[in-house]
Amino acid sequence: STMFLVGLSGGIASGKSTVVAVLRELGCAVIDADVIARQVVQPHSKAHQQILQHFGTEILLENGEINREALGNIIFSQPEKRRLLNSITHPEILKEMLKQVLKYFVLGYRYVILDIPLLFETRGLTRFMTYTVLVYCDPPTQLGRLMKRSGLGVAEAEARISSQLPLDEKRKWATHVIDNSGDRESTRRQVLRLHARLEDSLDFLWARLAVGTALAGFGGLVFLLIRHFIS
């Protein structure tokens, strides 16, 4: 079933982490693609070895981990290198995300939020989402926040923002928009309203029924196996 998946995305400095923090406070199940992306490239992993083969050992830190800033500088200016890196990491990221989705599904969560920064850029994953949520802020606010957060000049900050799909373009694809242009309290109220809508959505009734049926079937199978080995 794909009914319980909610895709969450935004843009650089749009305030997605603020929204995720509120969702976690509410007890929502959130799968962070960025966290998984760091996990799958740890030393001795399959992706780590492949990255070293293509990008060299110059991108390593002293502890053997990949220097994300050094690697980011390479792929930021070379689109073909970015595509190569994505072809290495994305399959591993998707496998780990699927494991976590199945865990929350079995635990009976009403819905699972997939926090994916490039959800609308890749577009391939959106077809698996019942709803998609965009964390939006107006362009001047986005630029100002990025400059303040990262200490970048105007030209550098604009280059970082322009490397992503514009937020106004992403709005066309989102089923829900959280406008984070204002203060934190305004954003929090919007997240609470969104959470209430998702909790009340009848779409998730079928997900809950599917979970119950699957668990009942699994429990029956375990019972029969136990009887078989005991008898």
Give me the residue label for tokens 């992403």.
Answer: 170
Whether the CB-CB separation of 128 and 172 falls below 8 Å is answered with no
Domain ranges of the chain: 1-29+111-200, 40-108, 205-230
Residuewise pLDDT in 10s, the chain (231 residues): 444 799 999 999 999 999 999 999 999 999 999 999 999 999 999 999 999 999 999 999 999 999 998 998 898 779 899 999 999 999 999 999 999 998 998 888 889 999 999 899 887 889 889 999 999 999 999 999 999 999 999 999 998 899 889 999 999 999 999 999 999 999 999 999 999 999 887 555 454 455 445 444 544 443 433 343 333
Residues 6+ apart with CB under 8 A from 188: 22
In CATH, what number does 1-29+111-200 get? 3.40.50.300
Distance CA 5, CA 25 (A): 19
Helices (H), the chain: 16-25, 33-39, 46-55, 68-77, 79-107, 119-122, 139-150, 154-162, 167-170, 184-200, 203-230
Position 137 scores a pLDDT of 96
Helical (H) or strand (E) element with 183? none
Structure tokens, 190: 């919007």
Provide the 10 A C-beta neighbour count for residue 107. 10
Structure tokens, 22: 């509120």
Position 30 scores a pLDDT of 96
Position 93 scores a pLDDT of 94
Structure tokens, 37: 């992306």
Position 203 scores a pLDDT of 55
Neighbour order of strands in the sheet with 5-9: 29-32, 112-115, 5-9, 131-136, 176-179
- At residue 8, the 3 state secondary structure works out as strand
Position 72 scores a pLDDT of 87
Position 218 scores a pLDDT of 44
